[in-house]
């Protein structure tokens, strides 16, 4: 395991300790969340931890089932106690860019539904200002050319995310536009501008949603 993976594992395991008996848990997506899910699975097997999870992607649902985490959905649960997820960038105000794994829409749903929203990242994700990571935006396939053109007026040239030369289709049946703004000085404003474009399903900007960020640093876990 390389150094970055060790940090991902460490923060994933740390976040799993925040989950208590009886909690409804939002399960994010990505390689850092994988370690958190494994750790929760171990606590279920060894300590009899009783929880239910709502997964943010089909891949997360598979990992959760393998780990023995019982799953539920929003027809049974109004509010989550805690959601734990990764991120692609975390800025000085704990605003985020997410969606590197194309799961941003459901991730935002489980983030908004939770009393506590905990982000787990290795130190490479910490930035002063968002934007170096191209902003993922989930869009309706029907109008994606037009939506991309409208987003380009806000200062970037979006590209359609592809998988083996075909458009990547999200778990919701939509497309992802990757938007290289380079610098996003006013993320709240940009989020509102992009969301006002018809055809945009959701953006990967998570503004004022986070309660805790757990950062894996060399020889240390920093909580902010």
Q: Using CB under 6 A, which of 103, 111, 190, 200 touches ligand 5RP?
A: 103
Q: Which active-site residues does the annotation give?
A: 107
Q: Are 188 and 130 spatial neighbours (Cβ–Cβ below 8 Å)? A: no
Query: Minimum CB separation from ligand 5RP for residue 174, in Å?
Result: 13
Stretches 81-89, 159-167, 168-176, 211-219: which one binds ligand 5RP (CB under 6 A)? 81-89
Instruction: Please count the residues of this chain forming the interface with ligand 5RP, following the rule CB under 6 A.
Output: 17
Q: Nearer to ligand 5RP by C-beta: 98 or 161?
A: 98
Residue 87 in the binding site for ligand 5RP (CB under 6 A):
yes
Bridge partners, residue 24, by sequence: 52
Find, among 56, 59, 31, 53, the residue nearest to 40 by Cα.
53
User: Cα dihedral angle (126, 28, 65, 163), rounded to 10 degrees?
Assistant: -80
Region binding ligand 5RP by CB under 6 A among candidate stretches 43-51, 80-88, 151-159, 190-198:
80-88
> How far is 164 from 199, CA to CA, in rounded Å?
24
H or E stretch at 164: none
Classify residue 69 as exposed, middle or buried by CB count within 10 Å of its CB (0-12, 13-18, 19+): buried
Binding of ligand 5RP by 85 (CB under 6 A): yes
By CB under 6 A, is residue 86 in contact with ligand 5RP? yes
Residues forming contacts to ligand 5RP in the complex (CB under 6 A) are 28-32, 85-88, 98-104, 107
């Amino acid at each position: 395991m390389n150094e970055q993976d060790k940090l991902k594992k460490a923060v994933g395991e740390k976040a799993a300790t925040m989950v208590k008996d009886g909690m409804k848990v939002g399960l994010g997506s990505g390689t850092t969340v994988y370690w958190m899910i494994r750790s929760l699975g171990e606590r279920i097997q060894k300590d009899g931890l009783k929880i239910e999870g709502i997964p943010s992607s089909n891949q997360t649902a598979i990992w959760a089932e393998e780990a023995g985490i019982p799953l539920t959905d929003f027809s049974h649960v109004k509010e989550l106690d805690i959601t734990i997820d990764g991120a692609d960038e975390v800025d000085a105000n704990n605003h985020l860019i997410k969606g590197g794994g194309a799961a941003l829409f459901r991730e935002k749903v489980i983030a908004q539904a939770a009393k506590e929203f905990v982000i787990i990242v290795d130190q490479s994700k910490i930035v002063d200002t968002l934007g170096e990571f191209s902003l993922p935006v989930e869009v309706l396939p029907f109008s994606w050319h037009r939506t991309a053109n409208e987003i380009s007026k806000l200062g970037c040239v979006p590209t359609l995310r592809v998988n083996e030369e075909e458009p990547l289709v999200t778990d919701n049946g939509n497309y992802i536009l990757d938007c290289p703004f380079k610098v996003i000085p006013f993320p709240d404003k940009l989020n509102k501008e992009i969301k006002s474009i018809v055809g945009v399903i959701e953006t990967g900007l998570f503004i004022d949603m986070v309660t805790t960020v757990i950062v894996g640093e060399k020889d240390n876990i920093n909580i902010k």
